[in-house]
């Protein structure tokens, strides 16, 4: 996947220029023209200086005035064109940064499944990119500077060759510092990648201590100092490793610069000797001194630019890898439509699953969920209940076996279409800091602002009592990020999440994965009674399945079918009465909970 660095560079140059051109052609043309004109003016000042000095030495007043005016004009161009160009490309860069941000958001959320999110190398890539895309301004500037530099170097080369053809070799002296610069930058890039994981961990710890949600636990468990010291250790380690890489890179660069300096001195001495012999004028000596110094500056600039360009190439390489990783998880092209209604139901056939190549979490699961049924999944913590739900939602693909919708492998259907027919409430629901109406409405984007739809969903979820409790009803801005935002209690957030889960009226699969854990057992029971009655109505129309994950057996017993999961296997399945009669794990767990409540 990792192409050669020059390919990366070219690809990055094409992409960045293409992006600038698409954002604003006029500004791109103005920026490029001004930068190039300013760049050519620099070596020409040496020529004007030569004319001026020769005219003064020879006593030609008119020529001296003409040369002085030209010199002044060129100096103005050198000093100002770059700034004017900057005004033009400043806005372009901001627009490009915005596009990159948008792409990063799309790429990190664009994959159909969740596997990518859980790969550490993917997370590392995103951590580095989050910081790097903010540097699009520096990248575009570096690119324009590079174009200008190449043009200035060509003009300088021609002028030097006119003085003495041997001097054309002077830019060759710039090769050692160039190579050294590349090598140094690669070392820094390697160190940045190697420290990305530690940087990400340190940032996570920083967020842990500076966001409000974990504040209670941090204080209660007196974790502040522990988190602080771990954060400190990680940063010390990261900065230490980066600093070492910087020191090595600086030494390599300095060696390259020394070689160039030797070439510079030799060039000036060559023309001085010619002038002493009478073959060259005083103006020529001044010209070579100015040009050789400019070659020196050009090299220094080139080395600095090369760092920017390589960083830019690194950014684009990471973006390409991210695109490729998102494409790789895109899955097969769907060839079967998601059915309008379920006739048979959902099946797991010989399903095994392991997260990102780890130990198996589900082993050889065969399970039939009949259309129209209310199914409860029970089992101890870590048994694999949520994983089973995630496979049914298509968040992950089974490592072996298949999930079938009405007998057809889910892998053959469009996941986007399948998700449209799923309604879900999860234990780890999101606290959307939106207006209350939208925080519920996003459960069905097509009706996100429909007050009627939102109120109906809250009603179905048994959550409509939350509306009068909100300052401005459904128009209340939620969340502490806003000055006028209202913070809700855990239970209130959960009520909104339940309403959101029930926004879709005719899902083929309604998943309730412990979304009521903040409620007491009785309230949960009452809620699920409503859900099952309602699920029965939906089931009659669409054959939809309601899937409940709960630790509360009082809730679970009302399901048509109870699936008992233990150690990644389905060990029992049937209705409450059947499972109690068979005196297996379910009966044992049920008995334990019933005794605890007595
Ligand atoms: N994203 C993940 N990456 C790696 N392992 C995971 C991930 N999510 C869950 N696991 C592991 O898979 C196993 C099953 O987890 P799962 O969440 O399915 O259990 P569960 O039965 O729903 O548990 P609980 O009742 O506590 O919610 C556990 O060992 C857990 O550590």
CATH of the domain at 286: 1.20.1560.10
Q: Which residue's alpha carbon is nearest to atom 4 within ligand 1?
A: 355
Q: Which residue's alpha carbon is nearest to atom 17 within ligand 1?
A: 386
Q: 386 alpha carbon to ligand 1 midpoint, in Å?
A: 7
Q: Which residue's alpha carbon is nearest to atom 25 within ligand 1?
A: 381
Q: 403 alpha carbon to ligand 1 midpoint, in Å?
A: 19
- What does the pLDDT read at residue 462? 83
Please check whether residue 240 lies inside any domain of the structure. yes
Report the candidate in 238, 234, 231, 237 with the shortest Cα–Cα distance to residue 206: 231
Q: Which residue's alpha carbon is nearest to atom 6 within ligand 1?
A: 355
Flag residues of the chain having pLDDT under 50. Answer: 1-3
Please check whether residue 392 lies inside any domain of the structure. no
Q: 170 alpha carbon to ligand 1 midpoint, in Å?
A: 65
- Asked which of 451, 482, 506 is the last residue of a domain, the reply is 506
Tokens of 597: 């409540």
- Asked which of 287, 306, 327 is the last residue of a domain, the reply is 327
- What does the pLDDT read at residue 480? 78
Name the helix (H) or strand (E) containing 362: strand 360-370
Q: 382 alpha carbon to ligand 1 midpoint, in Å?
A: 5
- Testing ligand 1's pocket by substitution, the residue of 356, 386, 427, 553 carrying the most ligand atoms inside 8 A of its CB is 386
Please check whether residue 572 lies inside any domain of the structure. no
- What does the pLDDT read at residue 112? 58
- What does the pLDDT read at residue 332? 61
Q: 384 alpha carbon to ligand 1 midpoint, in Å?
A: 6
Q: Which residue's alpha carbon is nearest to atom 31 within ligand 1?
A: 382
Q: 180 alpha carbon to ligand 1 midpoint, in Å?
A: 49
Paired with 547 in beta bridges are: 375, 511
- What does the pLDDT read at residue 18? 87
Q: Which residues line ligand 1 (CB under 6 A)?
A: 118, 355, 361, 379, 381-387
- What does the pLDDT read at residue 2? 44
Please check whether residue 168 lies inside any domain of the structure. yes
Q: 388 alpha carbon to ligand 1 midpoint, in Å?
A: 10
Please check whether residue 138 lies inside any domain of the structure. yes
Q: How far apart are CA 482 and CA 211, in angstroms?
A: 14
Q: Which residue's alpha carbon is nearest to atom 24 within ligand 1?
A: 381
Q: How far apart are CA 204 and CA 194, in angstroms?
A: 17
Q: Which residue's alpha carbon is nearest to atom 29 within ligand 1?
A: 382
**233 to each of 218, 370, 488, how far by Cα in Å?**
19, 54, 36
- Asked which of 471, 506, 541 is the last residue of a domain, the reply is 506
Same domain, residue pair 319 and 460: no
Same domain, residue pair 109 and 241: yes
Please check whether residue 470 lies inside any domain of the structure. yes
- What does the pLDDT read at residue 1? 41
- What does the pLDDT read at residue 65? 95
- What does the pLDDT read at residue 517? 66
Same domain, residue pair 321 and 434: no
Same domain, residue pair 115 and 255: yes
**Which residues form the domain of 475?**
430-506
Domain count, the chain: 2
Name the helix (H) or strand (E) containing 427: none
Closest-lying ligand 1 atom to the alpha carbon of residue 388: 18
Please check whether residue 397 lies inside any domain of the structure. no
Q: 568 alpha carbon to ligand 1 midpoint, in Å?
A: 10
Report the candidate in 42, 573, 539, 482 with the shortest Cα–Cα distance to residue 297: 42
Tokens of 155: 């003009």
Q: Which residue's alpha carbon is nearest to atom 28 within ligand 1?
A: 382
Please check whether residue 255 lies inside any domain of the structure. yes
């Amino acid at each position: 996947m990792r192409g050669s660095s020059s390919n990366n560079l070219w690809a990055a140059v094409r992409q960045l220029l293409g992006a600038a051109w698409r954002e604003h052609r006029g500004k791109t043309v103005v920026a490029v023209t001004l930068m190039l004109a300013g760049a050519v003016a620099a070596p020409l000042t040496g020529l004007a200086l030569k004319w001026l000095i020769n005219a003064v030495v020879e006593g030609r007043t008119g020529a001296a005035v003409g040369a002085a005016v030209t010199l002044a004009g060129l100096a103005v161009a050198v000093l100002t064109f770059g700034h004017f160009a900057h005004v033009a490309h400043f806005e372009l860069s901001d627009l490009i940064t915005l596009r990159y941000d948008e792409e990063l958001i799309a790429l990190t959320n664009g994959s159909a499944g969740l596997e990518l999110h859980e790969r550490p190398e993917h997370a590392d890539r995103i951590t580095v990119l989050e910081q790097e895309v903010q540097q699009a301004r520096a990248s575009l500037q570096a690119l324009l500077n590079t174009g200008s530099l190449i043009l200035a170097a060509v003009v300088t080369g021609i002028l030097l060759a006119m003085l003495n053809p041997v001097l054309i070799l002077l830019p060759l002296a710039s090769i050692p510092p160039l190579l050294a610069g590349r090598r140094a930058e690669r070392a820094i890039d390697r160190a940045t990648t190697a420290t990305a994981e530690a940087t990400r961990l340190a940032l996570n710890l920083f967020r842990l201590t500076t966001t409000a949600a974990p504040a209670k636990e941090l204080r209660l468990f007196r974790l502040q100092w522990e988190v602080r010291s771990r954060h400190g250790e990680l940063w010390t380690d990261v900065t230490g490793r980066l600093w070492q890489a910087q020191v090595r890179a600086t030494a390599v660069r300095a060696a390259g610069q020394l070689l160039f300096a030797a070439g510079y001195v030799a060039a000036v001495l060559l023309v001085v000797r010619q002038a002493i012999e009478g073959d060259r004028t005083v103006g020529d000596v001044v010209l070579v001194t100015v040009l050789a110094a400019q070659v020196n500056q050009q090299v220094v600039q080139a080395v600095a630019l090369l760092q920017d360009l390589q960083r830019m190439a690194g950014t684009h390489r990471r973006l390409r890898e991210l695109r490729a990783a998102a494409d790789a998880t895109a899955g097969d092209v769907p060839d079967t439509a998601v059915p309008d209604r379920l006739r048979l139901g959902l099946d797991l056939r010989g399903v095994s699953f392991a997260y990102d190549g780890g130990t198996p979490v589900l082993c050889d699961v065969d399970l039939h969920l009949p259309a129209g049924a209310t199914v409860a999944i029970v089992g101890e913590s870590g048994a694999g209940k949520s994983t089973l739900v995630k496979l049914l939602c298509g968040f992950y693909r089974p490592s072996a076996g298949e999930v079938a919708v009405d007998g057809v492998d889910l892998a053959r259907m469009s996941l986007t279409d399948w998700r449209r027919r799923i309604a879900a409430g999860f234990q780890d629901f999101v606290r959307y800091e939106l207006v209350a109406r939208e925080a519920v409405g996003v459960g069905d984007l097509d009706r996100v602002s429909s007050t009627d739809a939102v109120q109906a969903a809250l009603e179905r979820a048994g959550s409509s009592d939350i509306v009068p409790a909100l300052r401005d009803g459904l128009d209340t801005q939620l969340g502490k990020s806003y000055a006028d935002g209202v913070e809700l209690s855990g239970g209130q957030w959960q009520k909104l999440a339940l309403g959101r889960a029930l926004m879709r009226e005719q899902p083929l699969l309604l998943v309730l994965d412990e979304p009521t854990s903040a409620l007491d057992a009785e309230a949960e029971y009452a809620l699920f009674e409503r859900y099952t009655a309602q699920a029965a109505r939906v089931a009659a129309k669409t054959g939809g399945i309601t899937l409940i994950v709960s630790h509360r057996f009082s809730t679970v017993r009302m399901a048509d079918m109870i699936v008992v999961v233990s150690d990644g296997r389905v060990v029992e399945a049937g209705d409450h009465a059947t499972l109690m009669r068979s005196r297996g794990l379910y009966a044992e767990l049920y008995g334990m909970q019933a005794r605890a409540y007595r």
